[in-house]
Structure 1
Amino acid sequence: MSRNSLFLDIHGARVHNLKNISVRIPRNKLVVITGPSGSGKSSLSFDTIFAEGQRRYIETFSAYARHFIASLERPDVDRITGLSPVISIEQKSVNRNPRSTVGTITEIYDFMRLLFARASDAYSHVTGKKMVQYSEKEIIEIILSRFAGKRIRVFAPIVQGRKGHYQEMFEQFRRKGFLYVRINGEMTELKYGLKTDRYKSHFIDLLIDKLVVADHEHDRIRESVSLAMKQGKGICCINDMDNESDSFFSRYLMCPDSGISYNAPAPHTFSFNSPHGACPQCNGLGYVNEADISKVIPDRNISIAAGAIQPLGKYRSSLIFWQLEAIADKFGFRLSDPVKEIPDEAMQIILFGSDETFRLTRSPLGNTSSYFMAFNGIINYVISQQEENNGKRSQQWSNLYVSRKQCPACNGSRLKPESLYFKVAGRNIAELSAMTLSELKEWFAAAGSEMTPRQLAISKDILKEINARIGFLLDVGVDYLTLNRSADTLSGGESQRIRLATQIGSKLVNVLYILDEPSIGLHQHDNIKLIHALKKLRDTGNSVIVVEHDRQTIMESDFVVDMGPYAGMKGGEVVAAGTPEEISKQDTLTGRFLSNPKQLPIPEKRRKGNGNQLVISGASGNNLKNITVTFPMGTMICVTGMSGSGKSTLIKQTLYPLLASRLHRAALTPLPYASVSGMEHIDKVIEVDQSPIGRTPRSNPLTYTNVFNDIRKLFEELTDSKVRGFKAGRFSFNVKGGRCETCRGSGVMTIEMNFLPDVFVTCPDCNGKRYNNETLQVKYQGKTIHDILEMTFNKGVEFFENIPQIRKKLAVVQEVGLGYLKLGQPSTTLSGGEAQRIKIATELMKKDTGNTFYIFDEPTTGLHYNDILVLLNTLNKLTEKGNTIVIIEHNLDVIKYADYVIDLGPEGGKRGGMLVVQGSPEKVSKNEDSITGKYLAAELYGVYDVKTNN
């Protein structure tokens, strides 16, 4: 191998804020790219290296094939050499398809379907007994031995519990020479015109033969059984005439007592994405959507006229309210009466409708007219909007008033009932899918002892693949997940680690993998497992690049690329590159952090709160075990625990929906809990996550924070604007009037190249300034509206020094560490951490009552330790105002800074869900049952070893 092929060389990279950088990265190594948020890590790894690898892959396709594939923009880089095929595993690409599960993503469920199709035992859903299947030879041998010397009838089962008159069928049998049929247990001669009651269900058997069983009748029995199997489509029935009992035999799977038969199982029998296996009621989703009366009428103390029925709103002159008035007239109440005083019969009609008609009287233009109409009901209308394809807006509207309920037909298993009666070692496929991965590993290890030699021989290779894939998942720390866990409920970190395990299982070599902070959502206890998994990927002959801030991952890597020195325009450079030990000796933000990991502060004094408490009792959703948790108000609280211990269940799925529905009438349903107290001390609840602040490049920090409104109003007040008659709307690039219509305010033109990537060129009319010339004639202190959008927040604070309303708001964004961002920077280019801090800044701009309950889910995601300092200072400001901050977090630097810690566990999944300890970080660190406490004790009292994280 030549020396050049040992390295991945990037020359002259200028994507986003990268400053024409060049860097040499060793191949077949575990490489970490780190640095402050906004320093250019993702620009180098994903937007340069991965983008170029993806573009080269697409270029290998024929011109015809490329015509049907979305074209890829060439990254702004001089050249890249030594680039292997690239696979990107990002947090952003979470699978939101509710039909995808952990089992389908990892392909374990596919192997399990194959296992059940080839090596399962079938059981009758009528008697519960094991089903059997025979060849014709075996059936004859059983008849000769079991019924020797007995009188028997040989029947061909024709109809099993179906309605109809069957006159034509009877006539066909009569013409073929058959003499008798058995209808619902009664022998009946096949006469001309015979028929049954078409509206009743029937069991019909065709008589094939009647004889006494003896060895010399072997040929006759064989011919009779063969004819019965032919007429009965593989099934025959032997009736013992002495006691009138039936025995069923089939070449298919059949219950010998009831005659129920199944087709031979195939992999699709166990697929909830196939009509052969999916539950017909929920179509394989495992849930159904039902209108929720508590969401339709959240407050029964107010009247219909005042808006008690949420889908209708307040009274207005419209047909539906005229109908409601007619119902009110009939039942003697008024629409201004509280809902709780309306008669139950009337409420049933209002909600669910009635076939009864009601008289409507209207007097348009003085002419009185009356007519009668039935009322369909509010619930039925909501459901119709949910089920009918009336557009995205109608779906979003109806979603406000429905709740997801477990499918009553399949109990959430997603499968047809008969699919669940195939079992391997006594378990059906839904039961196995509901086990945690660690439990499933143990079950498969023991299952072989309950299989027959034939089943073991068939399933040997299948079990090997299943066990290997489960092992890879355990290696990346997701042992608490179940195979039936829907993909749309996974966090970004969980989804990424699952795909990492899948890639390890694929056994590809000579591939470059790029991962985006795989340690997100992972407890320190499981972090070393993840690092071992990354090394396993490397050791199989691949290159692994990880964008990461975790100290342990950095120190365990082979090579580190440190980006910086700061963020935004002050970043975009490679400030250091080398081994972790070499980086720790550099005078950079990362170097100082690695050489002195204990520099993040521990508060000298922890807040006790304002004396009030929020207490939620009996929380039992998902894996929570009826726990009672206390939240001291006016403090910073960390909720900790192993991955899968119940943190998100408690905070995001129970507490937040509970508070939001009570305080803001949000259409959210919390998971089960017994009671809550202390809500009177809270004015509002706000969840601040890392989701994007905008979905299009037209959204930016100014528009999200509403500061752009103030700036546009400032331009409206300028003399030049008044002379020209310009209003604030003139300075928006999203509406006609002031924007450049050639590019519609985007600043660029897209030129389609058909077989080549689309080319984006600066708009020739506005030169990328988004506005037309007339709008750009208006200036404030020599700056146009475009010039202001190009400023950073740091520059904006100086520029608007004399406009306090604008300066104060820009300063808040500066204080949360985002002064490097441009005022008009597209939201789509912001990282998750940057988006979250924009949201925090927006909250800080608002008038504060001091009684707000804030919820953060791992706010340190994507943050360098220097950014964590800024975040902690920001959260501290919110807390000092009297607010309560609740943070779901694994980062020990944040946990040790908190006033109060709620630790769940002790482990994840079924071994979690309990309250291990709650109190100060010091109290948690001394609790022997707390896994978090052991790591926290090292932070608070221990000596740190940067290599081992001990």
Structure 2
Amino acid sequence: MKSIKITGARIHNLKDVDITIPKNKLTVATGISGSGKSSLMFDIVFEEGRKGYLQSLGIFPGLENERKFASIEGIGPTIAVKQSVVRQNNPRSTVGSKTNIFNLLALLYSSEGQVKCSECNETIGQDKVCAKCGHEEERLELGYFSYNNPNGMCMKCAGRGAYYHVNMEKLIANKNPTVRELFNFIGVTPGILRVLERNFKGYMDQPYLEIPDEIKEEVVNGHYVSNNSANQSFCLSRILQAKHKRGEYLNGLYEITLCSECHGYRIGEEARNILINDKHIGQVGKMTLDEAKTFFESALELNEITQFGKNLLKDILGKTNSLIASRLGHLSLYREMSSLSGGEIQRLFLNSHLESKLESLIYILDEPTVGLHESEKIELLQSIKALKDLGNTVIVVEHDRSTIEIAEHIIDIGPKAGIEGGEVIYEGDYAGLLKCDKSLTGQYLSGKAKMPVRMLKQNIDDSAIPRLVIRHAKTNNLKDISVAFPLGILIGVSGVSGSGKSSLISSTLTPLLKSYFRLDANKNNTNGEEVDFEDESLLIETIAERLDGAENISGFAEVSQAPIGRNINSNPVTFTKIWDKIRRLFAEQPEAKRLNLTAGHFSFNSEGACRECHGSGRKAIFPEGSLKMYATCEKCKGKRYNNEVLTVTYKGKNISEILDMQISEAIALFSDNDVIVRPLQIMERIGMGYIKLGQPTSTMSGGETQRLKLAKELGRQRKGNILYIMDEPTTGLSLYDTAQLIKLLDELIKSGNSVIVIEHNHEVLESCDWIVELGPEGGLKGGEIIAEGTPKDLVKNPKSLIGKYLTI
């Protein structure tokens, strides 16, 4: 069949939609955030394509008990690359492991690496016999070249390349404290102190510098029972680690350090002795892809490499060149997947599918241009076209103007979000979309609808304006730069991928602010709230001389795209802390009192939960091996609660129906309850009115996650003079929603706050009072300030890359 035909699509907010999607074409689905395009493309096209394929193999029994549509024709095997699916937190998942380059590299070193004779240190040839002394050496097995394998990882850092350690020089600081004074200085409870007294007995009141070395080691690092890190004895390291995880300021007493054993290379000594072209595998792992390409090309010319090795190198080079063509050359093979932007992750996945050269598939991509500078989109769009030219159907869910312009077919869903969306507003080409007055997307693209115009601040160069100044930053690829951020304005931080934006803001400014405000958190916490700092999951060393001017702000709020919950029990109302208020409201209803139901019964984690699915509303099934899918719980029909709890209603709605409501609907229901409705109104204002109250946060995109965090921060009603730091807040936003975001940012500034946004969106950058641009390129060729000033200044600056795209 030449098209995919769907009739009567009615999942979520879709209103019996009939749609025809041409095959072997590039189709872009667009519309307001929450209009229903993802429901149509991911929940119907992708899920039905996947289910049909699995059923054809006999490994999926078809347990769906919800009809999402009347009929579907022309569907085939479908692959989805969705932000919320591909984002990962596993610190051991790296670019090298995800792309399989590191596995191929391990095979190369295992089979082709130069082995040194253990007797005379002479290099041994492929016959494994030393020509000098006749000793025969064994090659290392494959596992010795993997930092994830017990045989191969450096045991001191467990294959991480770095670790946190106790800074004893700072702790002692030219004094000679007793062991007891050391523990008292870092702060221990009386109970722990009693345990320490039993463990160290007569040493507690002796000077630390005079006790035996083995006792010193135990005071600092403790000991382990059966080599189990969970059973570490109480010591300085364990106590400081617990304080660090709680977000306490430790003034450099517990800090990250490069592993002294492997020097950041992650692998053990045996593998570090095996070389190719004078480099061991750990050294290659730390190279950027651009650097690694040069290494692989030179290795191909080596005489000692066999034909098998040359074939391996060609495969590795092919993957490397493909990643570089997608503007990922600034990444290293050791770069952790959890540190990548949504756009970088999608480009990695896109590359893997281009390499496979499969045809007759249906690909659905979720905003692949996220995180890309305007100058970088050309290569990505060429890759998407190449995927289609292989003979595949490519559907892109996207708001980006450049992507919509090249589409062969456009589907616009709307007119607005949630209950006001769910209809097909337009189908056709780009020219027709611009003429469609019903389409908000078309209105903004054609210029009929305008972005809000902020009154930009003047005379920002005035020395009287307070500033936040980072001195001599060298984090990651930053080249000893000093940057001044004027306060009380909207600042944009721009630059190509890998230019150093995240290194400057997320890995330098944010940790420095955390250190400053942890030092006196209570003084700066005017509302008596718990200070909430996100836990650092990455081993990144912040290198900067100092931060000046932090006393000019009363606090800061980091609003990143990091995931905020991995399970079905984390949702918008639990995250924003209004779930307890809703449950108490239900417990106050007459029927609840009659049945003796407390607020706890209205928690899907407690007494009121369905006993069959334990409150999840679904049950996991494993049709084949590790393949995991879900089916709706047959007992509660996905409602998550037992029947008794569901008999209690508030304004005609039971607790399960509340969780299934969209935020826009819930605002009307709770209109007379200010403590509940206020956070919901904030969420609606930032473009989240379509989100359901009970939607698992693990299913949200990076942009949705970030806007939810922003809503929580704004709901705190701080007194002003807060610095808000946002990482690409336009992720997942249509042009219409971007306009609402600009208005919100303007309100934050007018309320006496400061805002820094890492952003590529030129509409937002044009609305900034000040822009700091990094570059000129990514990786080692980046890390410099190439331009800073007002948008008008950057337009006139020939060194600015983003200035060419700004229309002032």
Distance 1:409 1:86, change over 3 A: same
Q: Tell which deviates more after alignment, 626-635 or 809-818.
A: 809-818
1:570 alignment counterpart: 420
Structure 2 Cα separation of the partners of residues 670 and 421 of structure 1: 27
Matches within 5 A, 1:95-174: 95-116=88-109, 121-122=114-115, 131-133=123-125
2:528 alignment counterpart: none
Structure 1 Cα separation of the partners of residues 638 and 449 of structure 2: 50
Distance 1:674 1:71, change over 3 A: farther
Distance 1:103 1:847, change over 3 A: closer
Task: Please tell me whether the aligned partners of residues 25 and 392 of structure 2 are also in contact (alpha carbons under 8 angstroms).
Answer: yes
Q: Could you list the per-position Cα deviations for residues 828-883 of structure 1 after superposition, in whole angstroms to 9, with x for gaps in the alignment? A: 56544334323222222223131222211111111111111112222222222222
1:51 alignment counterpart: 47
Matches within 5 A, 1:638-657: 638-657=492-511
- The structure number with the bigger radius of gyration is 1
Of the three residues 32, 37, 42, the one matched with 2:33 is 37
Task: Please tell me whether the aligned partners of residues 786 and 799 of structure 2 are also in contact (alpha carbons under 8 angstroms).
Answer: yes
Of the three residues 706, 713, 722, the one matched with 1:843 is 713
Does residue 636 (structure 1) correspond to residue 490 (structure 2)? The answer is yes
Distance 1:75 1:933, change over 3 A: farther
Distance 1:921 1:713, change over 3 A: same
Structure 2 Cα separation of the partners of residues 543 and 754 of structure 1: 27
2:560 alignment counterpart: 689
Equivalent AA in structure 2 for residue 901 of structure 1: I
Equivalent AA in structure 2 for residue 549 of structure 1: H
1:606: Cα distance to partner? 2.5
Matches within 5 A, 1:646-795: 646-664=500-518, 671-713=542-584, 729=600, 732-736=603-607, 739=608, 746=615, 748=617, 759-760=631-632, 768=639, 770=641, 776=647, 792-795=662-665
Structure 1 Cα separation of the partners of residues 124 and 196 of structure 2: 62
1:31: Cα distance to partner? 1.7
1:418: Cα distance to partner? 4.7
Distance 1:296 1:759, change over 3 A: farther
Secondary structure, counterpart of 2:333 in structure 1: coil
Distance 1:747 1:281, change over 3 A: closer
Structure 2 Cα separation of the partners of residues 270 and 901 of structure 1: 44
RMSD over aligned Cα, in angstroms? 4.4
Q: Could you list the per-position Cα deviations for residues 53-107 of structure 1 after superposition, in whole angstroms to 9, with x for gaps in the alignment? A: 22223223446xx69xx97787723333222222222223235444443233223
Secondary structure, counterpart of 1:863 in structure 2: coil
Structure 2 Cα separation of the partners of residues 649 and 912 of structure 1: 11
2:772 alignment counterpart: 902
Of the three residues 531, 535, 560, the one matched with 2:410 is 560
Structure 1 Cα separation of the partners of residues 514 and 9 of structure 2: 46
Does residue 400 (structure 1) correspond to residue 400 (structure 2)? The answer is no
Structure 1 Cα separation of the partners of residues 289 and 732 of structure 2: 28
Structure 2 Cα separation of the partners of residues 882 and 528 of structure 1: 39
Q: Could you list the per-position Cα deviations for residues 761-809 of structure 1 after superposition, in whole angstroms to 9, with x for gaps in the alignment? A: 6756x994947658855756x7666666565544554555554444444
Distance 1:749 1:815, change over 3 A: closer
Distance 1:278 1:716, change over 3 A: closer
Q: Percent identity?
A: 35
Matches within 5 A, 1:369-448: 377=219, 379-380=221-222, 387-388=229-230, 397=242, 400=245, 405-445=257-297, 448=300
Task: Please tell me whether the aligned partners of residues 570 and 820 of structure 1 are also in contact (alpha carbons under 8 angstroms).
Answer: no
Matches within 5 A, 1:129-528: 131-133=123-125, 252-254=128-130, 256=132, 262-264=137-139, 270-274=145-149, 277-279=152-154, 281-282=156-157, 284-288=159-163, 290-291=165-166, 313-315=188-190, 319-320=194-195, 330=205, 345=209, 354=215, 377=219, 379-380=221-222, 387-388=229-230, 397=242, 400=245, 405-445=257-297, 448=300, 450-452=301-303, 455=305, 459-528=309-378
Does residue 926 (structure 1) correspond to residue 796 (structure 2)? The answer is yes
2:479 alignment counterpart: 625
5+ residue gaps in structure 2? 233-237, 247-253, 520-532
Equivalent AA in structure 1 for residue 721 of structure 2: N
Does residue 13 (structure 1) correspond to residue 9 (structure 2)? The answer is yes
1:612 alignment counterpart: 466
Distance 1:751 1:904, change over 3 A: closer
Q: Could you list the per-position Cα deviations for residues 553-572 of structure 1 after superposition, in whole angstroms to 9, with x for gaps in the alignment? A: 11112222212111112222
Secondary structure, counterpart of 1:658 in structure 2: helix
Does residue 591 (structure 1) correspond to residue 442 (structure 2)? The answer is yes
Distance 1:719 1:496, change over 3 A: closer
Distance 1:289 1:783, change over 3 A: closer
Of the three residues 84, 91, 114, the one matched with 2:83 is 91
Task: Please tell me whether the aligned partners of residues 9 and 15 of structure 2 are also in contact (alpha carbons under 8 angstroms).
Answer: yes
Equivalent AA in structure 2 for residue 647 of structure 1: K
1:473: Cα distance to partner? 1.0
Structure 2 Cα separation of the partners of residues 742 and 421 of structure 1: 57
Structure 1 Cα separation of the partners of residues 106 and 192 of structure 2: 58
Structure 2 Cα separation of the partners of residues 501 and 416 of structure 1: 31
Q: Tell which deviates more after alignment, 397-406 or 567-576.
A: 397-406
Distance 1:310 1:855, change over 3 A: farther
Secondary structure, counterpart of 2:264 in structure 1: coil
Distance 1:506 1:585, change over 3 A: same
Task: Please tell me whether the aligned partners of residues 639 and 656 of structure 2 are also in contact (alpha carbons under 8 angstroms).
Answer: no
1:685: Cα distance to partner? 2.4
Distance 1:528 1:256, change over 3 A: same
1:889 alignment counterpart: 759
Matched residue count: 768
Task: Please tell me whether the aligned partners of residues 39 and 566 of structure 1 are also in contact (alpha carbons under 8 angstroms).
Answer: yes
Task: Please tell me whether the aligned partners of residues 417 and 689 of structure 2 are also in contact (alpha carbons under 8 angstroms).
Answer: no
1:111: Cα distance to partner? 3.9
5+ residue gaps in structure 1? 135-250, 332-342, 356-374, 941-950
Secondary structure, counterpart of 2:686 in structure 1: helix
Distance 1:538 1:727, change over 3 A: closer
Task: Please tell me whether the aligned partners of residues 35 and 417 of structure 2 are also in contact (alpha carbons under 8 angstroms).
Answer: yes
Secondary structure, counterpart of 1:687 in structure 2: strand
1:197 alignment counterpart: none
Structure 2 Cα separation of the partners of residues 108 and 317 of structure 1: 47
Does residue 579 (structure 1) correspond to residue 422 (structure 2)? The answer is no
1:626: Cα distance to partner? 0.9
Equivalent AA in structure 2 for residue 635 of structure 1: I
Distance 1:261 1:493, change over 3 A: farther
Secondary structure, counterpart of 2:433 in structure 1: helix
Task: Please tell me whether the aligned partners of residues 642 and 905 of structure 1 are also in contact (alpha carbons under 8 angstroms).
Answer: yes
Task: Please tell me whether the aligned partners of residues 382 and 398 of structure 1 are also in contact (alpha carbons under 8 angstroms).
Answer: no
1:327: Cα distance to partner? 7.4
Of the three residues 522, 532, 548, the one matched with 2:382 is 532
Equivalent AA in structure 2 for residue 78 of structure 1: A
Structure 1 Cα separation of the partners of residues 631 and 274 of structure 2: 56
Secondary structure, counterpart of 1:850 in structure 2: coil
Distance 1:282 1:307, change over 3 A: closer
Structure 1 Cα separation of the partners of residues 731 and 706 of structure 2: 10
Equivalent AA in structure 2 for residue 81 of structure 1: E
Structure 1 Cα separation of the partners of residues 587 and 93 of structure 2: 52
Task: Please tell me whether the aligned partners of residues 31 and 37 of structure 2 are also in contact (alpha carbons under 8 angstroms).
Answer: yes
User: TM-score under structure 1 normalisation?
Assistant: 0.71
